[in-house]
Chains A and B, each alone.
Chain A
């Protein structure tokens, strides 16, 4: 216990502190004798998976959170950073589209201008990267913010909202056009305000809105309106263009008017060969044909499914009328102000400043678009009538007063002011719209006014004359003053012309206007697109409208134009196949309709069109060739020269064999001999010409060519010999086969003629006169004759000796040729087929051939050839009977052959021949023997 106490005392010893002595250091005192430096962290450590960052190492989350910052500089910096980040890493856009778009859209209404500008830039960049279908889910949000900005109380924000609109219009017109209900009123409110209903000042004619003028904008009221109208115009354009096209409605405005149409059902297209060999399976009827296709123009029972969709709202005439009712008075007011503001300064009213002109042009464009908002034809008519009733007087009063308009020259001394103004315009983004040509303005004015003229009511025509007159004069002068017009203006002008022709129904007007168009058409050196446009205009005028409008059908200009087509076709040659095809597209139906002017001109130019050397029928592409061949069917007459041309066209090989057979068939059908055309009054093809055409086509060589051939000594020539009495001119394989196909068709046509005996007689005479006595004969001619004669030969008709001798010569030469042919199996087959048919069908021919084998005249080299020919004939079973009929002759020849050869060693050819001979004879004998037994 005691020791414990002592211990405790030891533990708690009191340290005595004394004055003047230093205080001893505590045991636990810290030594502070060290120096330190601050650690600076310029950036934070990031995890590896945090994703890409900007130069400032901010990732997308940071940037987005910074957008909510109070300081506008930081917001702007974040926007710039976002743009940098996203352009570096495009994949991020897809990932964060929803966050980025919603944050950016919120900044449309930011109160700082630079932030808004940066937001628009970012939006533009994003829009380039994301396709419309991906933006669609976020679009309600975007458009809500846009609407918010457009209706914002601050005018600067309103202006910037239009830029947002620009971006969206450029990239997502389809999505934007679905929001038209909200946006259209927004547009109205940008330039106007609602009248107070209680004031009672507004007249009945004016709408519920009145124009506003605000003094504190940076730009003038006119410029502001121009910017708004520009956007409105492009917005309406988007609405019109993005609408799914209804069936049967061709856009009748602008370039589309004369473009091709397309059907709504894709028909099944098969050719017989494919089908016959089981390649093309046909399934024509959907639902096994019980339900008519949905494209049917009328319904047997009402369609239960009503087509829903937002666009429906703007399709009917009533809704458009409602909107137009408020818009058009405003537009008229703007017009008056634009026109009036200028006319104070000068006394020449029709001269306008560039700005006013741009404004007016926009007004007219919007009017035009309003009309096009309704897609259906009947609705469009209702709308036209409504416009006419409500606004014709206003339009006449304001628009037509100073028509046509011109541009006032701006004096140079206003340079400074101009510069300033231009700068302002750049700020307002209107530069694009300001440089409008006066021509464009005038043309658009015509377009708008002409739609107001009604179809075919006489009393109205008289009323309209006062304002349609100047338009007509303007159009005529513009078209016929020799200047070249751009494609767009010309299309618009043609549209006006079309409408005037159709509505006015007067021959004078029609000829007047068409004359002007024709002057334009006849200009040289037109661009191809312009030329095509004019061509389409005329051809559609002729094809579509002519039936309903006798004044168009009787038009002198149209007739003149039609008559000029074949000449143009000839002149064009192969230079522009597209244009030629376009021409043919008109010529063909016109010919089919039996248009007299065209047919006359066609007849006159037929020989040059169907010229075998450089005529259209050989130089154009296949489709056009086909059309040309089909047009042949409608030619009123086929003179001998034309038939000569056609025959050469068939044989020169520059049109395909199938087209050539089509050509032959159409000549055949036009001839009274074929028994198809029942009318006896007019004979398009004379019988003589018909037969000579067929004979020339059959031989494939004209008489001049054959004569020229007699004197040549080309490589292709095989010299004549005892075994080949004719000197054969070997044609190329291609030519031979082409000719072979044609011969087939010719034989078929000749076969169907009424009297076979007479027909054969004619052909026999022709052969005797033209071909017998030739020394050099092309192989294809030989083959053709050998093929044609047995097919045409009547059983009761005996061919003449001259013909038979010629045939036997041909046959022998061909057999000789056959042995030399190695290169083509097809040619061999064809030649053999021809020889065989002739030998087996024509009586006495085989005997003549055998008789012409004079063994003693042959030299040693020719003996094997003869033996080969003989064994060839013997081997063929179908010929065996015919050979047996000439057994004695055959035996004689073979005896001579063995005797004459007389060599010790039996050659292979001789063994073969003897073997064939013995087989044939023995077969024959057993047959005979069998017959004897029974």
Chain B
């Protein structure tokens, strides 16, 4: 389809050229108008061609396309991590980075009112204060899989969320401090907890303790 388009665009230009030759017999002033008209026409043609290219490429439009997370990340899960009911997800990007968060079956969501508070001041330091800088990720906290990330609290109880993955802690989602309800509404997107960069060797070892999306759904008896 795209190969034909230049042909379509060329015809008006040829017509313009014929017009111009005929005009040469008339006044110079009229020639100038033709030049402007030709330029206008060329610009319009370019825009037409652009629109054709833009619209011709729209393929199938499914009712619900896969999300950016589903397309760019591979989902892993870990259940009952260090404690029963502590289920978390690990979304791993093609570039190796892992986004950590609470899986839908996490015990905190079962408490009435959901999660009301998130505190990153756990372990030896406040994770929300860390300043990682540069391409080499200086000052990133080197974490083990059971290093605490934060404490989430509900009306009833509080729960420790851990890294699950050994690596460098690049970022925690400090928006959760002021908007803990993000965990209740979209724990798998805006409510992510942290981003960790594992070393390739560490990831290979870590991966063995994680389960896939299918395995997770089966285990938790969630309809596929």
Are A and B a genuine interacting pair, yes or no?
A: no
B residues near A, CB below 8 A? Answer: none
